[in-house]
């Protein structure tokens, strides 16, 4: 995760972490410090939020195919690989940020692919289903709903699949009707929701989800 937000200097209202470093918090590479690109507003997801998310996914990652959209530092995809995911694809449009993720994959010696491309352009291409998807677009740019629709309509998701959506707390989120809310977490002005996706007939409408924390 960790994407560029529409307002500097810190996306999602988070307190900055160690400058230029990302810490893996669990799994095979626990406590490893990795370099991140020097890019304005780029911050890893806070440790507490990652710990919560990956406790939810503890039994879902072994051998999983993971897709990290709007990858930023790649914190979520790298954490998933540390915890047993079979492979991860990172989609990031900024060249120096994408190169930093590639460097960290090489440092850890893990299987991963970095695609330097706009997320919607990537999702318009040939689809391969993923079992776990992390979706953390820039705040206040209304990218969540179209990205969710593209994931569902273009067959990017396995049946079943897990999709984690992170966005500003005040915004409603629209997801396809066959995505069931599993858990949610709030941290500052950030709201994270984990969905369980089941297959449904084509053409299902998206639905608006209200607020509330479980």
Confidence of residue 200 (pLDDT cuts 50, 70, 90): low
**pLDDT for 37 beyond 60:** yes
Q: What is the DSSP letter of 58?
A: T
- CA-to-CA distance for 14 and 35, rounded, in angstroms? 19
- CA-to-CA distance for 140 and 207, rounded, in angstroms? 19
SS (H, E, C) 154-174: CCCEEEEEEEEEEEECCCCEE
Q: Between 95-108 and 75-82, two packed helices, what is the crossing angle to 10 degrees?
A: 10
SS3 27: coil
Per-residue pLDDT of 165-196, as tens digits, reads 998 888 777 899 999 999 999 888 888 999 99
Determine the pLDDT at residue 158. 96
Mean pLDDT rounded to a whole number for the chain: 84
Determine the pLDDT at residue 44. 64
Q: In this structure, is the dihedral angle defined by the CA atoms of residues 90, 138, 79 and 100, taken in order, positive or negative? A: positive
Q: In this structure, is the dihedral angle defined by the CA atoms of residues 13, 92, 63 and 129, taken in order, positive or negative? A: positive
- CA-to-CA distance for 28 and 90, rounded, in angstroms? 20
Pairing of strands 112-115, 33-35: unpaired
Confidence of residue 41 (pLDDT cuts 50, 70, 90): low
- Partner residues linked to 37 by β-bridges: none
- CA-to-CA distance for 76 and 68, rounded, in angstroms? 7
The H or E element containing residue 100 is: helix 95-108
Residues whose CB is less than 8 angstroms from the CB of residue 114 and which lie 6 or more positions away in sequence, other chains included? 71, 74, 89, 90, 92, 98, 101, 102, 105
Tell me if 38 sits within 8 A of 2, measured CB to CB. no
pTM over 0.75: yes
Per-residue pLDDT of 69-109, as tens digits, reads 999 999 999 999 999 999 999 999 999 999 999 999 999 99
Determine the pLDDT at residue 8. 35
């Amino acid at each position: 995760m960790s994407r560029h937000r529409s307002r500097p200097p810190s996306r999602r209202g988070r307190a900055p972490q160690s400058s230029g470093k990302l810490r893996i918090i669990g799994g095979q590479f626990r406590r490893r410090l990795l370099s991140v690109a020097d890019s304005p507003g780029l911050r890893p997801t806070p440790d507490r939020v990652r710990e919560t998310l990956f406790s939810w996914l503890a039994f879902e990652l072994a051998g999983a195919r993971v897709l990290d959209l709007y990858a930023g530092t790649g914190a979520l995809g790298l954490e998933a690989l540390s915890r047993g995911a079979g492979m991860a694809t990172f989609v990031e449009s900024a060249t120096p940020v994408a190169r930093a993720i590639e460097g960290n994959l090489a440092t850890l010696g893990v299987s991963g692919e970095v695609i330097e491309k706009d997320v919607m352009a990537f999702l318009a291409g040939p689809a391969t289903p993923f079992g776990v998807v992390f979706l953390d677009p820039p705040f206040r740019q209304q990218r969540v709903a179209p990205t969710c629709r593209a994931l569902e309509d273009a067959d990017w998701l396995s049946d079943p699949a897990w999709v984690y959506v992170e966005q500003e707390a005040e915004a409603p989120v629209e997801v396809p009707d066959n995505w069931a809310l599993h858990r949610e977490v709030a941290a500052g002005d950030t709201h994270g929701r984990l969905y369980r996706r089941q297959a449904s007939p084509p053409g299902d409408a998206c639905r608006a989800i209200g607020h509330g924390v479980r």
